[in-house]
Amino acid sequence: MKRDFLTVWDLSESEIEHLIKRAIQLKSGVDRNKCPLLGKSIGMIFHKPSTRTRVSFEVGIYQLGAQPIYLNSVDLQLGRGESISDTAKVLSRYLSAMVIRTYNHSTIEEFAKYFSGVVINGLSDEHHPCQAIADMMTIYEYKGVLKGVKLAYVGDGNNVANSLIEASAKTGVNITIACPEGFEPNKDVLNRAKQYISKKEIFTEIKILHDPEEAVSEADVIYTDVWVSMGQEQESRIRRSKFKNFQINERLLRLAKKDTLVMHCLPAHRGEEITDEVMDGNNSIVFDQAENRLHSSKAILELLLSV
């Protein structure tokens, strides 16, 4: 049966747990010489520039024995007016799966509707589910647990924040989002996460605050992202003004637990949302987090394609 991974909601709690533990196994080198996806070809369409998503998937696909095919959106017939549906139907005849990194989430949903293989959301303006799985893996590596961990996300309520909210609801992480007024996460994401928690009758908190100092108080993990994402360049001056008090710096870090972990999904605009001192400091696990994109991507591919 066809399985897509468009948002965190496409995975069950047990599947997320499996992915985290399997990614840690793969990171350790176990099954290094096994190729569960041997003979498969997996395409990647990127409408947005990428470092970690592209390289982690391209390397991961190769290490699992499959053939990665990078498809520059400019070179495809999509760039000359071919419909998404026609492109998806044609590529279905060649490829087992497709990783797509694009702007509108509806583009990925439409592609998945007509593509017969697996579709994985490598990032859209609304969701970044692969990042969230790598993030939960990283927190679990350091804390040995997810349930009850206090995660403070400081910054823009963007696609990363949306997927972290969904992943937190699924894993029992208590998440607080601190953002300026008007930059909150997607309301539908928040409502669905709160409804999910309510139905499961589990004690998991999701808070939206506008005070970063309150948010990081006693936090186990502090997380941030850029203030100006791709496609928002025209708003850069306004955003930098609105977010100037939401920087992760040493003063803010002192308000959290002494052993709090600092995370950033990268790329970082050093001196804006995070200072050099914090980014390169003893609390930072940013580059372990980046490495884990590879191992979690491999676990995702293996789960969806090993049939």
Which sequence positions are flagged as catalytic?
101, 128, 131, 225, 265, 293
Please tell me what DSSP assigns to residue 72: E
Give the dihedral sign, CA 192/193/194/195. positive
Contacts of 93 (CB under 8 A, 6+ apart): none
Please tell me what DSSP assigns to residue 102: -
Token pair, residue 175, equals 């998440």
Please tell me what DSSP assigns to residue 266: S
Contacts of 157 (CB under 8 A, 6+ apart): 177, 179, 183, 184, 185, 186, 208
The string of DSSP codes covering 136-162 is HHHHHHHHS--TT-EEEEES--SHHHH
Beta bridge partners, 68, equal 42
C-alpha span between 49 and 124 (Å, rounded): 12
C-alpha span between 54 and 293 (Å, rounded): 10
Q: Which residue has the tokens 């499961």?
A: 200
Q: How many CB atoms lie within 10 A of CB 63?
A: 20
